[in-house]
């Protein structure tokens, strides 16, 4: 897959859906996946290729993802990754959501 030797791993989900991931025989990194997405238009085969791995901190991540479906390609390129950049931020639900939340101990 993606022009390199890989180990093809079949994944069977609880739902019975099957997908296939491909791991590089030389690096062990995931280089692609194949699956079929069920849509209102019917079953659509999708191939995802992952490449151009770079190290961000201690983590190797693919910086190029190519999705192939319905005769088209979509390319996503990542140039930077920040881990824990939201540390110290406080996230508060909007008042509309808070109004739906039951007080502690309520029945």
Domain ranges, residue 58: 6-100
Task: Examine residue 64 and state whether it is found in any structural domain, yes or no.
Answer: yes
pLDDT tens column, 30-89? 999 999 999 999 999 999 999 999 999 999 999 999 999 999 999 999 999 988 777 677
105 domain residue, yes or no? no
Asked if the structure places residue 106 within a domain, the reply is: no
Q: What is the distance between the alpha carbons of residues 17 and 55, in angstroms, rounded to a whole number?
A: 32
Q: What is the value of pTM for the model shown?
A: 0.73
8-state DSSP, 103: P
Per residue in 39-60, is it b (16+ CB within 10 Å) or e — as a string?
eeeeeeeebbbbbebeeeeeee
| 75 assigned to some structural domain | yes
Residue 17 lies inside a defined structural domain of this protein: yes
Number of domains observed in the structure of the chain: 1
| Whether pLDDT at 106 is above 60 | no
Q: With 90 as the cut, is the pLDDT of residue 6 above it?
A: yes
Is the residue at 62 inside a domain? yes
Instruction: Examine residue 31 and state whether it is found in any structural domain, yes or no.
Output: yes
């Amino acid at each position: 897959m993606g022009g390199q030797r890989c180990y093809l791993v079949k994944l069977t989900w609880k739902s019975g859906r099957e997908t296939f991931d491909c791991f590089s025989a030389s690096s062990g990194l995931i280089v692609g996946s194949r699956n079929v997405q069920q849509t209102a238009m019917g079953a659509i085969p999708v191939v995802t290729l992952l490449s151009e791995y770079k190290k961000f901190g201690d983590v190797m991540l693919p910086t190029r993802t190519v999705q192939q479906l319905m005769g088209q390609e979509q390319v996503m390129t990542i140039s930077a990754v920040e881990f824990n950049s939201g540390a110290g931020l406080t996230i508060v639900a909007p008042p509309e959501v808070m109004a739906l939340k039951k007080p502690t101990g309520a029945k």
